[in-house]
Amino acid sequence: MGCFFSKKSRRKSPKKDSALTDGDGSATGNDLPETNNTALGSDSNQEAPKQYSWDKREKVDPKDFMLTGLKNETVGRLPGKLNGQQFVIQDCENCNIYVFDHSAIITIDDCVNCRIMLGPVKGSVFFRDCKDIKCVVACQQFRTRDCKKMDVFLCCATQPIIESSTGMKFGCYQYYYPELAFHFKDAGLSIFNNNWSNIHDFTPVSGETNWSLLPEGAVFLEYMPLPDPESEFKSVRISTEASRSIVPMTKGGRRTESEESCLFVFFAGDYTTANARKLIDEVTTKGFVLIQTKEVSMRLEDVNRVFQNNAESLTEWITKGPVVALELNGDGVVEACRSIANEVFNGTKLFVSESKNTSSRDVDNFFNFADMQMGL
């Protein structure tokens, strides 16, 4: 080791040490050997320890990242308070909880009769031993265990899983606040990848149904109220209108009224998301229904398999980034979509089913590919 860790080894003998003190045991400057003065000088000029990035991180209080043991309160976190950290909610009763920020993982344990709004979660949201819960959740993974009577407005990138849970009802996510689009991006979630109705029951019971879909005409505010005007969240501008929802409202697994569907695909560009939203507005105004959406990356072999006869003209477009695909439904939807493509999106990189005779095949080819790509 270096000299800073071995000064004692430089002392010749106990007699040498005793020469450094006078009779009353105190050291005298005149008695110090010159060599030791040099050594002390080198100690005083020793460099400060190096500072690393993790040494400079601001210390956090764990209490800022949990809500526990609350009753009859309106609580939560404002934008910018979590910034991607983990969060815990536990042992709360009859509370309105609003988390207006993105986070890494959220666990909710032993809560009863609560209304919970969670901003986008990069990883998993896990409810355990909860009862009579109404919630709005956007996440990568959603799971419940030992829960009863939950109404969930959900945006989930993967297949939601329930385990030993009963009375579970699901609807499509619908919510807006000004920072929400940025929070989705920070959490690495796509607003177009929502499997809210594709539930997997890990513990099914023969002859019983542990989950179902909320009524299509469910009034959101009857499930999830706005924050109290006197609360700390009064400054957050919230909208629960389906037309303003960051996540597109999809019909999901509900039965369709028409046998005619159309595949509409936007290839990567500067305005892909805006174009998809505009298309949704155009078709829903005409009375057609949005069934599902997906945002996925494609390789050359994927294009050949999905688009078949049209693949050659589309291969160069997949190199720019992921595609956004929409399934639209209703009598006459193919003709309407082709008309919208020509009138509204002329010059935009896109694909639209050519006829209702091939449109069902187009839809199946693309969304089967997308589900396999995402491991669904």
142 is in an annotated binding site: yes
141 is in an annotated binding site: yes
51 is in an annotated binding site: no
Give backbone dihedrals phi and psi of 3, rounded to 5 degrees, phi first: -65, -25
Phi-psi category of residue 257: left, alpha or beta, with phi > 0 → left and psi -120 to 50 → alpha: alpha
Q: Following DSSP, what letter does each residue of 3-43 receive, concatenated? A: GGG-SGGG---HHHHHTTB-TTS-B-GGGS-HHHHHHHHHH
294-325 as b/e: b if 16+ CB within 10 A: bbbebeeebbeebbeeebeebeebbeeebbbb
d(CA 270, CA 13): 79
Q: Following DSSP, what letter does each residue of 96-151 receive, concatenated? A: EEEE-S-BS-EEEES-EEEEEEE--EEEEEEEES-EEEEEEEEEEEEEEES-EEEE
Pairing outcome for strands 289-296 and 323-329: antiparallel
For residue 234, the tally of other CB atoms under 10 A from its CB is 10
373 is in an annotated binding site: no
351 is in an annotated binding site: no
d(CA 22, CA 263): 96
- Among candidates 182, 137, 127, which has minimal Cα distance to 158? 137
List Cα–Cα distances, 128 to 72, 105, 157, 270, 326, in angstroms: 20, 14, 20, 42, 34
List Cα–Cα distances, 6 to 2, 9, 314, in angstroms: 7, 6, 72
For residue 146, the tally of other CB atoms under 10 A from its CB is 15
H-type alpha helices, the chain: 14-18, 34-44, 180-186, 272-285, 300-307, 333-344, 356-373
140 is in an annotated binding site: yes
d(CA 27, CA 49): 29
- Binding site members: 123-124, 140-143
- Binding site members for GTP: 123-124, 140-143
